[in-house]
């Protein structure tokens, strides 16, 4: 079974070593992880996929990162921003995943950007951490935001990824736990399993994309 946790933060960004995370995620049913700030490597059939996370909300920063991140080097993940920012970065060659849309306004990801994500084979990440860590109205807002995104996904068929966003070994989730959490936002098991298998295909994009700016 191909299953990738799309964002984890090993030490020094988190408090668990990369080797410990590999051991734990393998036991939790995964065959790969995207490790932010780490190079890619393989061990006994398990893949550590290097990840570069761009938190800045300037398009130029994303363009520079995409140019520096040569093909096959690693996964380029960008934190979402407003509608204009998201519309620009979705077109940049080398951007693989956009995450944290649940922290943005609803109009930051509309039907136009959803169509562009599908055309350019850019995935939208479903970060499960807020479903575990948040409570009350904030949790409900996150759930509704994800449901809105999934409605657009059903219509336009852009790829999804799922992540634990774990910063320590105790925050890691099993494949079964992630699928269960995804059901809270309306992601049925077959679709959730497909989202867990998306990452490796993102590193060899099929559609035409361009660098803007």
| Separation CA 72–CA 121 (nearest Å) | 16
Comparing C-alpha atoms, which of 91, 84, 145, 85 is closest to residue 118? 91
Q: What pLDDT digit, counting tens, does each position of 155-201 carry?
A: 999 999 999 999 999 999 999 999 999 999 999 999 999 999 999 89
Phi, then psi, of 11 in degrees rounded to 5:
-60, 140
Burial class (CB in 10 A: 0-12, 13-18, 19+), 70: exposed
Band (72; pLDDT cuts 50, 70, 90): low
pLDDT, residue 119, reads 97
Domain parsing of the chain, residue ranges = 4-202
Euclidean distance between CA atoms 63 and 54, whole angstroms: 10
Contact 89, 104 (CB under 8 A): no
CATH architecture assigned to 4-202: Alpha-Beta Barrel (3.20)
Q: Which of 39-43, 87-91, 208-212 has the lowest mean pLDDT?
A: 208-212
Tell me the pLDDT tens digit for each residue of 87-112. 999 999 999 999 999 999 999 999 99
């Amino acid at each position: 079974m191909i299953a990738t946790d799309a964002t984890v933060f090993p030490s020094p960004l988190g408090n668990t070593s990369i080797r410990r995370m590999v051991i734990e995620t393998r036991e939790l049913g995964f065959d790969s992880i995207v490790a932010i700030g780490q190079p890619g490597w393989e061990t006994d059939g398990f893949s550590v996929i290097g990840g570069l996370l761009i938190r800045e909300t300037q398009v130029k920063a994303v363009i520079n990162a995409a140019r520096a991140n040569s093909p096959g080097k690693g996964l380029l993940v960008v934190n979402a921003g407003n509608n204009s920012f998201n519309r620009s970065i979705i077109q940049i060659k080398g951007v693989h995943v956009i995450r944290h849309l649940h922290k943005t306004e609803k109009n930051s990801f509309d039907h136009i950007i959803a169509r562009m994500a599908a055309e350019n084979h850019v995935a939208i990440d479903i970060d499960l951490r807020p479903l575990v860590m948040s409570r009350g109205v904030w949790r409900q807002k996150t759930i509704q935001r994800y449901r809105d995104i999934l409605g657009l996904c059903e219509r336009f068929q852009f790829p999804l990824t799922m992540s634990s966003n774990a910063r320590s070994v105790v925050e890691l989730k099993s494949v079964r736990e992630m699928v269960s959490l995804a059901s809270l936002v309306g992601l049925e098991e077959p679709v959730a399993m497909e989202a867990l298998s998306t990452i490796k295909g993102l590193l060899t994009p099929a559609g035409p994309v361009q660098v803007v700016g």
